[in-house]
Amino acid sequence: MNILFIADPLASFKIYKDTTFAMMREAQRRGHHISACEPQDLMWQRGTAVMAHVRDITLTGNATTWFEERGTRSTALQDFGAILMRKDPPFDSEYFYATHLLEQAERDGAKVFNKPRALRDHPEKLAIMEFPQFIGPTLVTRDPEDIKRFHAEHGDIILKPLDGMGGMGIFRVGPDGLNLGSITETLNRHGAQSLMVQKFLPEITLGDKRVLIIGGQPVPYSLARIPQGSEVRGNLAAGGKGVAQKLSARDREISEALGPILHSRGLLLAGVDVIGDCVTEINVTSPTCFQEIFDQTGFDVSAMFIDALEQALRT
């Protein structure tokens, strides 16, 4: 089978930790052929199927020159056995347009994972609203007065943009309310943009756990991203330390409740972020942490993912 990965530029991959690379490696190990492109390489014209300008590659096993290009071509997406949308956030206008092109490709007969419509329907910050039984006190607004009231009620809060990634733009405001107005103006752009406000969860000191759900089933280990020093963010991109650990009873309760629902909507892979007992985000664009979990526990997350992909193509 030929698998197309729609991702960021190959030259930007840090293969020692990149989850898309781990997927490619396992797919090639099983005899599948690998192709890659970026969202900007997608194209549609009336009277034709959705096309892409792709690079056919072979992984070399070399840490420096990690792939060889076998050639480039323009081909219809429906000609691939599977298409994996692995473009990193932000979910901007171009990402949105790419999901529409991919949905048209599905009409042509292409098999796309995660499903384009599901990507649009599950914004990573707002998807938690559907599961209030698993989240802490949370507010979505652009109104500064709403934020002041929320802060007065909860005292210690986290504010973050709805389109952020990797811990970008996350602020903590304590009981003294220092800089709350300035932070609100920065994030809501003087009332032009909505943001999310959540009660600060002190369990963040134990880690912001990434619980991976593949084919509706939880990976048995999470990766706890633990803040370092005076940092409040556990994100690996913000310097957090990743520590793999077995799922807690609460982690399993959450993943067993959310997993079948997300899977039924076409989300082959989701990353549920959990602090303490509370879900804080549901990541669906390009969830990561495969290699960190494998390196620390020996559990082969990539194999579980390709198993699920192959199963999905048989049904």
For residue 60, which amino acid is it? T
Catalytic residue check, 209: no
Local structure of residue 163 (DSSP, 8 states): T
**Exposure b/e, 63-72, CB count within 10 A at least 16 = b:** eeebbeeeee
Catalytic residue check, 160: yes
Beta strands in 60-170 (DSSP E): 67-76, 82-85, 112-113, 138-141, 157-161
> Please, which residues have CB within 8 angstroms of residue 91's CB and are 6 or more apart in sequence?
119, 123, 124, 163, 285
Catalytic residue check, 225: yes
Tokens at residue 274, please?
């959990």
| Active-site residue, from 114, 188, 235, 283 | 283
Catalytic residue check, 283: yes
Q: Checking phi first, is residue 111 left (phi over 0); if not, alpha (psi -120 to 50) or beta?
A: beta
Strand partners, 226: 241
Catalytic residue check, 68: no
**Rounded to whole angstroms, how far apart are CA atoms 53 and 31?**
23
| Active-site residue, from 225, 235, 251, 292 | 225
CB 264 within 8 A of CB 312: no
| Active-site residue, from 210, 235, 251, 292 | 210
Nearest to 42 by CA among 89, 91, 110: 110
Catalytic residue check, 310: no
Half-sphere exposure of residue 135: CA atoms within 13 angstroms, side-chain side: 21
| Active-site residue, from 26, 124, 281, 292 | 281
| Active-site residue, from 233, 235, 251, 292 | 233
| Active-site residue, from 124, 251, 273, 292 | 273
| Active-site residue, from 160, 188, 209, 235 | 160
Catalytic residue check, 130: no
- The CA distances from residue 271 to 50, 145, 246, 288, in Å, are 29, 32, 15, 8
Catalytic residue check, 208: no
| Active-site residue, from 125, 209, 251, 292 | 125
Active-site positions read: 125, 160, 210, 225, 233, 273, 281, 283
